[in-house]
Structure 1
Amino acid sequence: METFVTEGDGSRWMRTGDEAVIRKSPNGNEHVFIVDRIKELIKVKGMQVAPAELEAHLLTSPLVNDCAVIPVPDDAAGEVPKAFVVKSPSVGLEESDSMLKREICKHVEREKSRHKWLKGGVEFIDVIPKSPSGKILRRLLRDQEREKRRKAGAKL
């Protein structure tokens, strides 16, 4: 897919990788709202982080059986990576979740640049949602995270 596209009428477009919705206000003005990102990149302080890169690295940890990484909003950085992790069967029941989360974060911090660190945290789940072809359904995780944050924000 090309970044710059020229239509038959001569108009030019730039494909940003963002999903947008155009809505008309009551007074007739059209507004463009960016609602999602088509490209699977997380933008941390303007730097791009590929979720697949972090997922591949996380899978090298003996604590991780499966994982998915999504962007979560951050006041200072715009977005930061958050990992959803299925624990390895070798992880003992006596090990606390907080200790495991710290170890998983350290695993990333030892090998990756600071902007790729899991500042959004680590959350343990039973299964990573995937399509029948095996592709990670990050949108489901993003929607669940957005709803959880909305509910948490409403409890002020």
Structure 2
Amino acid sequence: MRTGDEVVIRKAPSGNEHIFITDRIKELIKVKGMQVAPAELEAHLLTHPHVNDCAVIPIPDDAAGEVPKAYVVKSPSVGLEESGHMIAREICKHVEEHKARHKWLRGGVEFIDVIPKSPSGKILRRMLRDKEKERRRQQGAKL
């Protein structure tokens, strides 16, 4: 069966096999069964004047399954006096005004210095997902 998920199959002492879904091979984010392409949200975010670079990853959500979260590198034009919270809210509003409700950044916006990329320029989303998993684990959140 091909689902697009990465799984681990473990055999229990009783002899039964258990399947654990560990990751998604495809990049799509599933929000309440609807597909959200990270590349679409990233392209839209790059049109915002305060965004220099960005990446969108899925984060777990109890109600929706997954929700998009944006990692953003602020534009050099952003003044130091502007608070990160206000800019994050402005970026979320930018998405809400132009995209369907299931594509909104319900996972929030986090500012980072640089988006991890491969030598060919492809965004290394796995590094961001691992960083997010570690942060959630340290907070004691269930994954």
**Gapped runs of 5+ residues in structure 1?**
1-13
Matched, 1:59 2:46: yes
Matched, 1:140 2:127: yes
Q: Secondary structure of the residue that 2:72 maps to in structure 1?
A: strand
Matched, 1:43 2:30: yes
Q: Secondary structure of the residue that 1:52 maps to in structure 2?
A: helix
CA radius of gyration, larger in? 1
Q: Name the residue aligned to 2:19.
A: 32
CA distance in 2, matches of 1:103, 1:139: 26
CA distance in 1, matches of 2:9, 2:118: 29
CA distance in 2, matches of 1:136, 1:24: 35
Question: How much does 1:16 deviate?
Answer: 1.5
Matched, 1:15 2:8: no
CA distance in 2, matches of 1:87, 1:47: 29
Q: Which structure 1 residue ranges, 4+ long, deviate > 3 Å from structure 2?
A: none
Q: Name the residue aligned to 2:71.
A: 84
TM-score (norm 1): 0.88
Matched, 1:108 2:74: no
Query: What is the CA deviation profile of residues 112-132 of structure 1, one whole-angstrom value per residue up to 9, with x for unaligned ones?
Result: 001000000000000000111
CA distance in 1, matches of 2:138, 2:50: 30
Question: How much does 1:54 deviate?
Answer: 0.2
Question: How much does 1:27 deviate?
Answer: 2.1
Q: Secondary structure of the residue that 1:107 maps to in structure 2?
A: helix
CA distance in 1, matches of 2:129, 2:117: 13
For CA contacts below 8 A with separation 6 or more, give which structure has more relative contact order.
2
Question: How much does 1:32 deviate?
Answer: 1.0
Q: Name the residue aligned to 1:124.
A: 111
**Gapped runs of 5+ residues in structure 2?**
none
Query: What is the CA deviation profile of residues 76-117 of structure 1, one whole-angstrom value per residue up to 9, with x for unaligned ones?
Result: 111000000000010000100000000000010010001000
CA RMSD of aligned residues (A): 0.9
CA distance in 2, matches of 1:76, 1:50: 19
Question: How much does 1:15 deviate?
Answer: 2.1
